[in-house]
Amino acid sequence: MMKLDGLAAFVTTADAGSISAAARRLGLAKSVVSERLAELERTLGATLIQRSTRRLTLTNSGETFLPRAQRILREMEAAASELDASSGKLAGPLRLSAPVGFGTLHLGPALARFLTDHPEIELSLELDDAFVDAATGGFDAVLRHGAIGDGRLIARRLAASRRLLVAAPDYLAAHGVPRSLTDLEAHRGILYANRTGDWRFATGQGWTVVRPRPALRVNNGLVMRDAALAGLGLALLPTFFVHEDVRRGALVEVNPGWPAEGAELFLTYPRDHGASAKIRALGDCLRRTFGDPPYWEAF
């Protein structure tokens, strides 16, 4: 008979890329994960994972079996979650991914509140600035800042955020204050490496993209903020990164005559997964903690 712990070992190993990493995620010894994988393969009569000293890859059988195994685990977890919810208790694992900067600055208090309210939930949080596919990445939910545009996903809005063009006072004193979008092109920009259009502004003729001279490209908002504080150039950043610095005057908002493109914060999860009671409770807690409007807009 196929066991759920074997399915969990297989799915986690496929997602993590190694048995060692899967063991760390599951909180088990590497030998236990290896044995559960071997038992699952014996039960199925097929090799699912090709092991070598250098890498781990899925066999054709493993590639075929993986989406079904993922679906079985999701359905079992959702069913258990619904039963717990009907009894007034939420329990069991919940896997969440979020961007590094936002998670570092804002998720700690929110998740502490959530786990205090639901102490039987076993929350796993991974912070990653790379694109995380909420449909296939092995997470129950993924926190996203910006447009979703993926029909496989359900996106629940958590909070709004503006993007502000900011610079250190010393930078503006040395290089001048830009007053128009054209002025921006002569300035040095601290740019987010994962955005295709550098800076987008809503003008009377639609969206206008501005590409300043790059001083730094990086895929982390906290590093961008630190570079702006150091006077390296202008940065276009969400208010949740810079609200405290603008409030105390360490960064100054620059107004080029048109508002920058905003973005919203979403909790996303696979459409075929559905919103389990745990995901709904997490979303409710995050919205209450962030506020409406969120506290990072109150300055």
Residues in CB range of 126: below 8 A, 6 or more apart: 95, 96, 97, 98, 139
Q: What is the pTM of this model?
A: 0.70
CA separation for the pair 132, 191 (Å, rounded): 21
- Predicted local confidence at residue 85, as pLDDT: 57
Q: What is the pLDDT of residue 295?
A: 94
Please indicate whether residue 53 or residue 71 has the higher confidence score (pLDDT).
71
Query: Region 262-266: what's the mean pLDDT?
Result: 87
Assigned CATH for 1-77:
1.10.10.10
What per-residue string of b and e applies to 98-114 under the rule 16 or more CB within 10 Å gives b?
A: bbbbbbebbbeebbeeb
Closest CA to 187 of 172, 197, 209: 172
Question: pLDDT exceeding 90 applies to what percent of the chain?
Answer: 42
CATH architecture classification, 90-160+262-299: 3-Layer(aba) Sandwich (3.40)
Over residues 232-253, mean pLDDT? 96
CA dist., res. 210 & res. 232, Å (int) = 18
Give the per-residue pLDDT at 184: 93
Give the separation between CA 270 and CA 204, rounded to whole angstroms.
37
pLDDT > 90? residue 261 = no
The answer on pLDDT for 135 being more than 80 is no
Superfamily of domain 163-261: Periplasmic binding protein-like II (3.40.190.10)
Task: For the chain, give every domain's residue range.
Answer: 1-77, 90-160+262-299, 163-261
Fold agreement (1-77, 163-261): no
Reported as a single tens digit per residue, the pLDDT across 70-127 is 888 877 776 766 666 565 678 888 889 999 999 999 999 999 999 999 998 989 998 9
Q: Among all chains, which residue has been given the structure tokens 């409007």? A: 293
Closest by CA to 174, choosing from 234, 118, 226, 121, is 234
pLDDT score of 179 more than 80 = yes
